[in-house]
């Protein structure tokens, strides 16, 4: 019987302004995980300032928690190798951090860029991920991406294209993000299931908000699980 292991994500808690000495209160989140019977943590780089892998590892070990994924944000959406150099350096640093944290999986955030077309961004990300996966493979880490609203990589068709062009890359199935990208999460899962190694469970709904000039904007808002 396959077992599903649950984890908590620092990004979600950091959005609630969980601060301790002007930094994210990881220990407090670990206590919540213990109460819930959850022993895994998804560390997101921008939850911490500064990010200290040694400190994070000690807090987790003291609270019987382990890192299941390290998420970071390298600027790889660039049209050439020279432009991606800074992003590749961030990938190298992230690999070292992930290894120190004891993570076996890393996730790269893949936003678009309003100054380029979605197809240009898509091609840029594919080239960047092709370079990144050589480094993560060499380090023994699994490289993943997830669907992101307004990203060039959101739908199942776009994800399958990346999988074809970046052999070995895996997917994080984010139920809320898939829905926000305009696709039925169940349909997405059925198409991509063999490539999924991690999941983010969240819910949301579409609603119209009225701007000051009277115009309306369709907006996606997060909701509690089951309420979206």
Choose between 224 and 29: higher pLDDT.
29
Average pLDDT, the chain: 93
Q: Is the pLDDT of residue 62 over 80?
A: yes
* Rounded distance between C-alpha atoms, residue 52 and residue 46, angstroms: 12
- Tell me the average pLDDT across 13-24: 85
pLDDT for res 124: 98
Q: Is the pLDDT of residue 212 over 90?
A: no
pLDDT band at 1 (very low <50, low <70, confident <90, very high): low
Global model pTM greater than 0.85? yes
Residues 6 or more apart from 39 whose CB is under 8 A from it?
A: 5, 7, 33, 64, 65, 66
pLDDT digits (tens, 9 = 90+) for 135-189: 999 999 999 999 998 899 999 999 999 999 999 999 999 998 998 888 999 999 9
Give the Å distances, CA to CA, from 182 to 179, 185, 220.
Answer: 5, 9, 11
- Tell me the average pLDDT across 88-110: 98
* Rounded distance between C-alpha atoms, residue 108 and residue 106, angstroms: 7
Residues 6 or more apart from 129 whose CB is under 8 A from it?
A: 76, 108, 110, 143, 145, 162, 166, 169
Q: Percentage of the chain with pLDDT > 70?
A: 100
């Amino acid at each position: 019987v396959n077992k599903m292991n649950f984890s908590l994500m620092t990004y979600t808690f950091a959005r609630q302004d969980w601060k301790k000495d002007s930094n994210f209160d990881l220990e407090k989140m670990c206590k919540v995980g213990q109460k819930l019977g959850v022993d895994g943590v998804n560390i997101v780089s921008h939850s911490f300032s500064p990010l200290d892998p040694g400190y994070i590892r000690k807090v987790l070990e003291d609270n019987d928690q382990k890192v299941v994924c390290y998420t970071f944000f390298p600027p790889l959406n660039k049209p050439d190798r020279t432009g991606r150099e800074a992003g590749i350096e961030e990938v190298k640093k992230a690999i070292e951090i992930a290894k120190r944290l004891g993570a076996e999986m890393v996730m790269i955030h893949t936003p678009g860029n309003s100054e380029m077309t979605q197809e240009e961004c898509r091609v840029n990300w594919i080239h960047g991920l092709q370079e990144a996966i050589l480094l993560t493979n060499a380090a023994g880490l699994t490289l993943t991406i997830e669907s992101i609203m307004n990203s060039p990589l959101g739908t199942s068709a776009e994800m399958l294209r990346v999988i074809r062009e970046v052999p070995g890359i895996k997917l994080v199935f984010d139920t809320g993000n898939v829905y926000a990208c305009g696709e039925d999460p169940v349909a997405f899962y059925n198409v991509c299931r063999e490539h999924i190694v991690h999941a983010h469970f969240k819910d949301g709904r579409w609603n119209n908000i009225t701007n000051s000039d009277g115009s309306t904007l369709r907006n996606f808002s997060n909701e509690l699980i089951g309420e979206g």
